[in-house]
Chains A and B, each alone.
Chain A
Amino acid sequence: MLPGSDKLTAALAAAFEEGVLKTVTTAFGEVTVVVAADRYAGVMRTLRDRAELRFEMLIDLCGVDYSGHGGGGWDGPRFAVVCHLLSLSNNWRLRVRTFAPDDDFPVVPSLVDVWPAVNWFEREAFDLYGIMFPGHPDLRRLLTDYGFVGHPFRKDFPTSGHVEMRYDAEQKRVIYQPVTIEPREVTPRVVREENYAENE
């Protein structure tokens, strides 16, 4: 979609030694880079500071839970952090993905020193996915309620949640109780095999 993705991949190849970027792929006109978690902070700093790259802006950062991807056959680390960078001077966009090595305690270094814009995005990723960002000055929950338990955007967290809130007339206060509605799915999730319905 965007012009200059060839130039961007060439500039990336020139800027980084082999092996620093695990993969560089171009799909739908967008360039995606996968970086190991221990190299992540350094790579991001280079992306911002190097004269040919100059990604001045971090547009977005989000967590992704890959368990269940493609109908459950995902093998690889479960949690990833995906950043979208924008270079105003070159008019480039770049997506950087890094997987958290430990599935039970996902940790990815914080980028607050590189782009201050990342502050709330990292808080959100921590809140919704439980990804820890060492180096973040203020890693509190952001979107969920005060005293919320769990990380709601993980794939094993039900859409209806675990607790519901109501006013109890006898105790004369608002109480939490386990959810009483049953989860239901009207349209099932279907992943078709390849080439399905292509032979007409």
Chain B
Amino acid sequence: MNFGPQHPAAHGVLRLVLELDGEVIERADPHIGLLHRATEKLAEYKTWIQSLPYMDRLDYVSMMCNEHAYCLAIERLLGIDVPVRALYIRTMFDEITRIMNHLMWLGAHSLDVGAMTTFLYCFREREDLFDMYEAVSGARMHAAYYRPGGVYRDLPERMPQYQAMKTRNARGMKALNENRQGSLLDFIEDFTRRFPGYVDDYETLLTENRIWKQRTVGIGVVTAERAQALGFTGAMLRGSGVPWDLRRKQPYAMYDRMEFDIPVGINGDCYDRYLVRVEEMRQSNRIVRQCVEWLRHNPGPVITDNHKVAPPSREAMKENMEELIHHFKLFSEGFHVPAGEVYAAIEHPKGEFGVYAISDGANKPYRIKLRPPDYVHLAALDEMSRGHMIADVVAILGTQDIVFGSIDR
């Protein structure tokens, strides 16, 4: 039976060819590549900085995490230091992104399985997170905010507010803008205060829900050994009981200073992975709070002052010949990255997202290989769904948290 590529539960453009015995799956053959844009090939023909916005478009529900891995790879090759404040901002936005991704996952997964309400709740909260993205970078989704050497600019002092609109009166406007009176950090802090309550709401709807449990408990079970052999990472691996988290094991940015717990599943089924991800949202919320606290009290530069990599300020560029040359060189030829190869991996919301970059010393990468986590998970769909019913395939697809932007690249 053919499933997709336009099926709403296919999470984008998955075409799945199922071989069935009655309603039981005998073999599942995912046909991917319908969204293939050859990002890796395009990157070979663009300067290092020009391909950065492509990273947003890989996994388009966790944009900044993709950028983070790419920037890490470049920074390691160049050997440049990133200001501490930028590292904290990155940590904070990585976690905001993680919450964003998990909300999308929770909404879509529960909708696939038949619960409409969570979807609406999740998207309501995602709106606030998009506003944070917009406040900091100007774009709601494809931020291009992380740059090699730091982040594009410092956090804004004023949170943008809603303008008057025809559909709301003055009192409605005031309510909308109530938590936007201060800076972006105030807005984020307000969100972190509200968010645990929201997660409780989702859990009331799902965790003890009989239908939800019937659809997820014991579905798509993967043992810890098998999960490792299949290359699972992130919540898929932790759901099977392996306490592996790159934020703890191979810390990057400021994760070694953060306090957070790593939730681990027991049975390795869809329900355990659900519990792991929900707990991860709470932990991310904790990390965001710690970052907000630090960022309030420690101003400083947010991007490296090495103007061979990061552009000089506009003012300096217009007054100083040296800076003008830097600006011109940077935006025409781009910076050169020393020859060598690195593999930079981060704990992406979906698992381990890696960027393998080979440089031959030019202003463009020689080869960029992106390692999307959900690609590996989808490859295991065949094994996970064998012997299950057709309806369970949808639950398994949902639990894998797949996004075609990163699978097809």
Contact = CB atoms under 8 A, between A and B. Distances in A.
Q: 7 shortest A-B CB distances, which residue pairs?
A: A117-B231, A143-B33, A120-B379, A62-B369, A60-B371, A70-B360, A191-B362
Interface string A53-90: 00011111010110001110000000000101000100
A173 B383 CA distance: 38
Interface in B89-120: none
Contact of B352 (A29, A59, A118): A59
A89 to B, nearest CB: 10
Interface in B313-372: 332-334, 336, 339-343, 345, 352, 354, 356, 358, 360-364, 366-367, 369, 371
B353 to A, nearest CB: 11
B47 interface: yes
B250 A91 contact: yes
A182 interface: no
Interface of B: 32-33, 36, 38, 40-42, 45-47, 50, 76-77, 228-231, 233, 242, 244, 249-250, 308, 332-334, 336, 339-343, 345, 352, 354, 356, 358, 360-364, 366-367, 369, 371, 375-376, 378-380, 383, 408-409
Contacts of A153: 38, 40-41
Contacts of A1: 76, 250
B179 to A, nearest CB: 39
Interface of A: 1-2, 27-30, 32, 56-60, 62, 64-65, 69-71, 82, 84, 88, 91, 93, 95, 115-120, 141-145, 152-153, 159, 185, 187, 189-192, 196-197
Contact of B354 (A29, A59, A117, A143): A59
A143 B76 contact: no
Contact of B369 (A29, A60, A187): A60
B363 A187 contact: yes
Given A91-B250, A93-B343, A117-B376, 15 more contacts: A2-B250, A28-B340, A60-B354, A82-B356, A88-B228, A142-B32, A142-B33, A144-B36, A159-B38, A159-B41, A159-B45, A185-B45, A187-B332, A189-B45, A190-B336
A152 B242 CA distance: 38
24 contacts: A1-B250, A2-B250, A28-B341, A30-B342, A65-B367, A69-B366, A84-B354, A84-B356, A88-B242, A88-B244, A93-B343, A95-B341, A115-B231, A116-B229, A117-B230, A142-B33, A143-B408, A153-B38, A159-B41, A185-B45, A189-B364, A190-B362, A191-B360, A191-B362
